[in-house]
A and B are shown apart, each in its own frame.
Chain A
Amino acid sequence: MEYIVETKHLTKSFGKEKAVSNLEMKIPKGEIYGFLGPNGAGKTTTIRMLLGLMRPTSGSVQLFGKDMKNSRIEILKNVGSLVENPSYYPHLTARENLEASRKILNVPKKRIDEVLKQVRLHGVANKKVKGFSLGMKQRLGIAAAMLHQPELLILDEPTNGLDPSGIIEMRQLIQSLPEEYGMTVLISSHLLSEIDQMATRVGVVSKGKMIFQDSIETMRKFAQASIQVRVNDNEAAWRSLLANGQKADIGEESVTLQAEDDEQVAGSIQYLVQQGFSIYRVQEEKRSLENIFLEMTREEQAG
């Protein structure tokens, strides 16, 4: 497969501490990649290395199949970015801020008005940015990242500081990018709920290590409901189910059925009754994506 972003054994140490450790990130073209991890997981450090702002301690970064070390300029022509807190020149207006970048990017002047409209800042285009609210600065940062219609957009916590309607607008904007412009988007967050409605792929990082990387559907499968059954003798019931060829797990106080549909659940319960077990409880347990994400990062931290 052709990847827009591919890192190999990417590692960054600060002193003895490894902020990013052997990270293998793979982002296919046209995906919206949600880059998730708790505070201090190494998301921003990874993104800095993707943009060549910081040198990796070891490992490599390839964007569009080109190596960051040798083809930095060529690569960056097609990348737009927003790293950590929004960056801006406080003494310039919103329009002037974009103009300072535009001169270097060499794109037509009309792009400035286009991106200002896209992020709904055209009303305050001539105001000094130092007077902007955090959300307005964040929008300006996104506008700057889109100025040259890059093939890859890298946004580090772009919803930081946005109000709910701003978050929804942002989500709609980002969702439309792959379809309309064929862009690939990398968006980091520490909240799964924030990106699960737009991401098509997810990478979960914890303590600098990638602990999950797959499509959002695969992640959702983890979230499917499971049926827990409590009987008079859980262990015997579990063995009996396994002997009958049904999938089940044993927990501390119950047996968990891995049933795909209602019929299977009914069949398993009927079987247990026929075997003479007393059934005390049958309950459904739903795990939200957020829970899965929390469990993933918690396991990693405990281990």
Chain B
Amino acid sequence: MFSVINSEWFKLRKSKVLFLLLVAPLVGLFIGLANSFIEIEGINAWYEKLIMMNFTYATLFLPLISGVFAGVICRYEHQEGGWKQLLALPVTRGKVFLSKYLVLILLMLAMQLMYLVSIYLVGMIEGITDPFPMDIVWKSILGGWVATLPLIALQLWVSIAFKSFAAPFAINVIFTLPTILVINSERFGPYYPWGQPFLMMNISGSTEDVFFVPWDQILMVIGGSFLLFFIGGYLYFQRKAV
């Protein structure tokens, strides 16, 4: 299993898309610095920054970039017969699928950490002197990551199914764009998988549980969609003729 992950990482590393990881902190810096902010007396200045930065980052950027990575990790297999070369090696399809998935979620974790750095930088540049709310930041960084797990599973499935790079990306955009509208709906918002990254990173959400989203919603919506997308993709890949 480790050797398959190793091989995946090798192929991805050489594809020079890792610079995309840098886009996350750049986007963070951009949103953070582009908006002027008025200090409100009595409220930690970081909170305001976080609310504003996380909104754009989590509703748009996070779901979109996760799809791009999923597309890239399949693209070089589609290009010149990579699948048949890879799958004629002594390796199960299950391991290939799982390896690609693991590499993807680790990349997303790395990206979240870089975003964390950008939050800190924005604060430094703007001269925020209030104490850095470490626990709240961690909650939203890790929460945002957990919320992308089902999205990545779906994107991996779609990227394996389509030879073209554009089709999975288009599907991702179609589901991501309505997020801004859906999260404002009290009825549908909590159940929309593409809305979960925002809800998990929204620091003004419920604070009773570990994350900003109640556990039952995490288990039901994120856990449920994860199982659906992961198992769907896994089974699809098992049967795919190459």
21 residue pairs A–B, Cβ–Cβ below 8 Å = A48-B84, A48-B242, A55-B239, A55-B241, A73-B91, A76-B90, A77-B90, A83-B84, A83-B88, A84-B81, A85-B80, A86-B80, A87-B81, A87-B84, A87-B85, A89-B76, A91-B16, A103-B4, A104-B4, A104-B86, A105-B89
Question: On chain B, which size bracket covers the interface?
Answer: 20 to 34
Give the residue of A53, A79, A100 whose beta carbon is less than 8 angstroms from that of B242.
A53
Say whether B87 contacts A53, CB under 8 Å: yes
CA distance A96 to B85 in the complex (A): 14
- In this assembly, does A90 line the interface, its C-beta being within 8 Å of a C-beta of chain B? yes
CA distance in complex: A82, B240 (Å)? 19
Among the listed stretches B7-15, B55-63, B133-141, B180-188, which one makes contact with chain A, having 4 or more residues with CB under 8 Å of it? B7-15
How many residues of chain A are within 8 Å of chain B by beta carbon?
Answer: 32
B7 in contact with A89 (CB, 8 Å): no
Residue of A nearest to B87 (CB): A53
Q: Which of B67-118 contact A (CB under 8 A)?
A: 76, 79-82, 84-92
Closest residue of chain A to B10 (Cβ to Cβ) is A100
Contact among A51, A91, A106 for B88, CB-based, below 8 A: A51
- Give the chain B neighbours of A53 by CB distance below 8 A: 84, 87-88, 241-242
Q: With A and B bound together, what is the CA distance between A184 and B7 in angstroms? A: 28
Residues A49-105 near B (CB distance < 8 A): 51-55, 72-74, 76-77, 79, 81, 83-92, 96, 99-101, 103-105
State the Cβ distance, A210 to closest chain B Cβ, in Å.
Answer: 22
User: Are B90 and A103 in contact (CB-based, < 8 A)?
Assistant: no
A→B interface (CB under 8 Å): 48, 51-55, 72-74, 76-77, 79, 81, 83-92, 96, 99-101, 103-106, 144
Evaluate contact between A92 and B11: CB separation under 8 angstroms: yes
Residue ID in chain A nearest B9 by CB atoms: A103
Say yes or no for B3: interface residue by CB 8 A criterion: yes
Q: Is B241 touching A48 in the complex (CB atoms < 8 A)?
A: yes
Interchain CB contact (< 8 A) of B90 among A73, A91, A96: A73
Q: Across the two chains, which residue of chain A brings its CB closest to B16?
A: A91
Give the CA-CA distance A74 to B87 in the complex, in Å: 13
List, in ascending order, chain A residues with CB within 8 A of B90's CB. Answer: 73-74, 76-77, 104-105
Residue numbers in B under 8 Å from A105 (CB-CB): 89-90
CA distance A175 to B87 in the complex (A): 27
- Report A-chain residues with C-beta under 8 Å of the C-beta of B80: 85-90
Q: How far apart sit A53 and B240, CA to CA, in the bound complex (Å)?
A: 8
Whether the Cβ atoms of B88 and A79 lie closer than 8 Å is: yes
Give complex CA distance A51, B88 in Å: 6
- Select A104's contact among B3, B76, B241, B242, beta carbons within 8 Å: B3
Q: Which chain B residues border A55 with CB–CB below 8 Å?
A: 239, 241
Given contact pairs A100-B11, A106-B3, A89 touches B87 in the complex (Cβ within 8 A): no
Task: Assess whether B6 is interfacial by the CB under 8 Å rule.
Answer: yes
Q: How far is the CB of A137 from chain B (nearest CB, A)?
A: 8
- Whether the Cβ atoms of B14 and A92 lie closer than 8 Å is yes
Q: For the complex, what is the distance from the CA of A54 to the CA of B81, rounded to whole Å?
A: 14
Once A76-B90, A89-B80, A90-B79 are accepted as A-B contacts, the answer to whether A100 and B241 lie under 8 Å apart by CB is no
**In the complex the two chains form, what is the Cα distance from A63 to B221 in whole Å?**
46
**A91 in contact with B76 (CB, 8 Å):** yes
Of B6, B10, B15, B81, which contacts A83 at CB under 8 A?
B81
Q: CB-CB < 8 A to A103: which residues of B? A: 3-4, 6-7, 10
A96 and B79 CA atoms in complex are apart in Å by: 16
A144:B85 contact, CB within 8 angstroms:
yes
Given A83-B81, A86-B81, A92-B11, CB of A54 within 8 Å of CB of B88? no
The distance from the CB of A2 to the nearest CB of chain B, in whole angstroms, is: 22
Residue of B nearest to A85 (CB): B81
